[in-house]
Structure 1
């Protein structure tokens, strides 16, 4: 349109003057702009009208589509046989029963949740704002019961928000000395703190189950500042008191021995016996100095020079069982080499007996300790089964004593047996080394005598 106007104006330019032509072109452009704005305004109004009518058209379209699907379903049912209709009816009935059971299950879950919150809520925590009649009433229709108990969800969320924000309420708690004191609880989430009205008691509080007062653990003077609204930093037990309970249950070594029962004491006696004998042998072996070939060479050199006293002094002055054997061999060195060799083997029997003394006792403790532990295990299990006969297996607390005895005795048996076995192996190796060294040096002395 604008292009045609420009062409017309150009045609008129040939006949009109330059000034008149400029005026006609500007008017034409202005008119073209107005026409364009008018067209855009009309287009915008048309789009707005379409947008306004579109939801209504969409709604009508959905209604027609639903009506069409329903008519198609009715046509499909009409075309079905009697058996097919009965099968479809049974499937619908099964689905209805499943939905009914689900509604009843969800309604019971909401009821259990509300009861647990009301029963287990600690002091200082906000209450669940739900009408008790809603929880107690049992509706015949599961769907109606579920719909009525949905208020528990909203109340639980409101309670959770209040709990996370912190709350305070009066109540009673059990002090560390066992007395019951009155005061005020402060709760934030699962954590609780208690401040006594008198006496200055303040610290963290741990619940002890339904129907029992919370117990104050630890001490923290900053709890007093909570009521004034001051910002304080308080200790938080993320385990909910379980860490302290485990620490109290452990009780240390003395409590562990007490839990083991009667059979722990023989095991401890074997441990003491093995320890004393093992230390005695270790101290005895530590005093020995390992002799060498130079020592034997010095003794034989003294004998060859005819100085028997010096040879005997060299033999007896060495701190090792080989010294006593060598002194005996020096005393009979004037005899034949065969006699000296027989004397050597005779002395070796004494050295072996002395070196291995007390080692069988350690070996017995290493073998007997786990057997006593097993005996304690059997005794503890018998006790446990007797308690099961009396009280049943529903509550595990009465069974804890027998199970502890069964496991602790096995623990002590292994703790005693393993070090005793290692100690016996080390001492046996050392004893064999002493005998072998004595035999080697003695044979070296005998061979030197044969070379004379």
Structure 2
């Protein structure tokens, strides 16, 4: 082939290439028109330059042939790599077809267990104080990945380990007055969380709050456990059911208020009766001591005791009266001392008898309230009847508790006053008998 013909063939090839480029640029957007025209002008200038320069055209052709050879080598290598990848893909496809069912079942089981754990713990578990402690949700996962499996397994292992750990944490806690403060708390596994003064509970939103009523038996252990001075702590294996029941147990003052107005009356009468009994018993104890001293003193009569006053009155009588008259005067003096000795006993006996009756009255009124609640609200909610039943039972208990010590007090007063009365009557009778005997001895020699 002649150089001129070869030159024209190259020019034709370049023209064909240029026409192809032009046909593709026609399909481009209008916004690229100016850039296309500039590129065409540069290509035309390069084409004219190559046509005019035979050596440059030959060098460009050699370079193009070298690029073509390298491209063919690269294409062959890529074809060989593609063949290898097709073999690997075929092997993986066969293995996947064998394992698709097993992996799908494993993903379904993993998703179900993860959801069950999240639902079981929820916002009530102490293990979820950290939101990242729960396993991830896998309901939307379509393909099982290794990272998902590792995350779920690690999360379950961490939750299992935390059930047996005691951790000290810093969290916001809602106090009883409604204020939220940063508190240092201790979490005992999934059983309880508490500060140094109160047990904690979780609200609906997961916020921590102080338990409205911490049982006194547990409250005494909290401070020492949090400070590290003691390792003894009460654990509720029912996850708070027993502690809630203990917390709802009313105190003695609350029991007293459950009795209502009838309970207040019963307690008031009981207090009055006991005060009267105590005052009278102290008076009788003092009188007993003075009577004993008077009995031992003999002729030295004092008017600070009933026996001394009775004997002084006998000394002031006309001894020439008949024995019947002297005995009557002596009985009169003894009877004059009895009201002070028996003072308060009727009131104590009355309160001891009235207290059970008032308790019965409270029982009746409480049952009336209960039946009224049943009439209005039915029997669906036992809490609506609890108030009337509490009043019925508490007033009965208050009446019995009041009556029992009052009966003991009345018995003690009666025994002490009866003892003093017997001592006074015995001393008075002995004094009268001594007087009558001496008088009879004086009359006997005269008659002789």
Q: TM-score, normalised by structure 2?
A: 0.53
Match in the other structure for 2:50: none
* 2:328 counterpart of 1:326: no
Moved more, 287-296 or 322-331: 287-296
Q: Which has the larger radius of gyration?
A: 2
Residue 358 of structure 1 and its aligned partner are, at CA, apart by 1.9
Deviation at 1:370, TM superposition (A): 1.8
* Alignment correspondent of 2:13: none
RMSD between aligned residues: 4.8
Determine if contact 1:206/1:241 at 8 Å carries over to the other structure. no
Question: Helix, strand or coil for the counterpart of 1:164?
Answer: coil
Count matched residues. Answer: 299
Q: State whether residues 225 and 232 of structure 2, in contact with CA within 8 Å, keep that contact through their aligned partners in structure 1.
A: no
SS of 1:287's partner is: helix
Which residue of structure 2 aligns with residue 206 of structure 1?
A: 200
1:402 is matched with 388
Change (3 A) 1:279 1:297: closer
Q: Given the alignment of the two structures, is residue 387 of structure 1 paired with residue 373 of structure 2, yes or no?
A: yes
Unaligned runs of 5+ in 2: 1-114, 141-154, 212-218, 440-448
- Tell me if the contact between 2:118 and 2:134 (Cα under 8 Å) persists in the aligned partners: no
Task: Please state how far the C-alpha of 1:215 moved relative to its aligned partner.
Answer: 1.7
Matches within 5 A, 1:133-172: 159-161=159-161, 163-164=163-164
Is the Cα contact below 8 Å between 1:296 and 1:445 reproduced in 2? no
Q: Which moved more, 1:280-289 or 1:250-259?
A: 250-259
1: distance between equivalents of 2:158 and 2:297? Answer: 98
Note if 1:121 corresponds to 2:125: yes
Which one of the candidate residues 408, 412, 416 is aligned to 1:430? 416
Q: 1:165, 1:212 → 2: CA distance?
A: 21
Shift of 1:381: 2.6
Aligned to 1:369: 355
Give how far 1:235 is off.
7.8
Cα contact 2:123–2:202 (8 A) shared by 1: no
Following superposition of structure 1 onto structure 2, how do residues 8-23 of structure 1 map, counting pairs within 5 Å? none
User: Which residue number in structure 1 is paired with residue 209 of structure 2?
Assistant: 215
Query: What is the aligned partner in structure 1 of residue 78 from structure 2?
Result: none
- Does the 8 Å contact 1:191/1:237 carry over to 2? no
- Partner in structure 2 of residue 258 of structure 1: 257
Q: Do the aligned partners of 2:163 and 2:188 also contact (CA within 8 Å) in 1?
A: yes
Q: SS in structure 2 opposite 1:369?
A: helix
Give the match's secondary structure for 1:342. helix
- Are 1:419 and 2:405 counterparts? yes
**Residue 145 of structure 1 corresponds to which residue in structure 2?**
none
CA distance in 2, matches of 1:328, 1:262: 51
| In structure 1, distance between residues paired with 2:164 and 2:293 | 84
Alpha-carbon displacement from aligned partner over 1:321-374 (angstroms, at most 9, x marks no partner): 122222222222232222111212223332333321221110011111122122
SS at match of 1:264: helix
Alpha-carbon distance in structure 2 between the residues aligned to 1:184 and 1:359? 60
**Aligned partner of residue 263 in structure 1, secondary structure:** helix
Question: Distance between the aligned counterparts of 2:325 and 2:225, measured in 1?
Answer: 92
Which residue is 1:4 aligned to? none
1:442 is displaced (CA, Å) by 1.4
**Change in 2 beyond 3 A, CA 1:158/1:263:** same
1:340 aligns with 2:326: yes
Partner of 1:207, secondary structure, is strand
Q: Deviations over 1:218-270 (max 9, x none)?
A: 898998x9xxxxx9998854136678767765665443332221112211221
- Structure 2 contact 200–208 (Cα < 8 Å) conserved: yes
User: 1:26-84, CA deviations, whole angstroms, 9 ceiling, x for partnerless residues?
Assistant: xxxxxxxxxxxxxxxxxxxxxxxxxxxxxxxxxxxxxxxxxxxxxxxxxxxxxxxxxxx
Please list, as runs of the form range in 1=range in 2, the aligned pairs for 1:69-80 lying within 5 A after superposition. Answer: none
Cα distance in 2 for partners of 1:221, 1:449 equals 78
Question: Is the CA contact (8 Å cut-off) linking 1:118 and 1:128 kept in structure 2?
Answer: no
In structure 1, the residue matched to 2:20 is none
Conserved 8 A contact 2:303-2:312: no
Distance 1:202 1:290 in 2: 58
Residue 350 (1) aligns with residue 336 (2): yes
Distance change in 2, residues 1:114/1:355 (3 Å): same
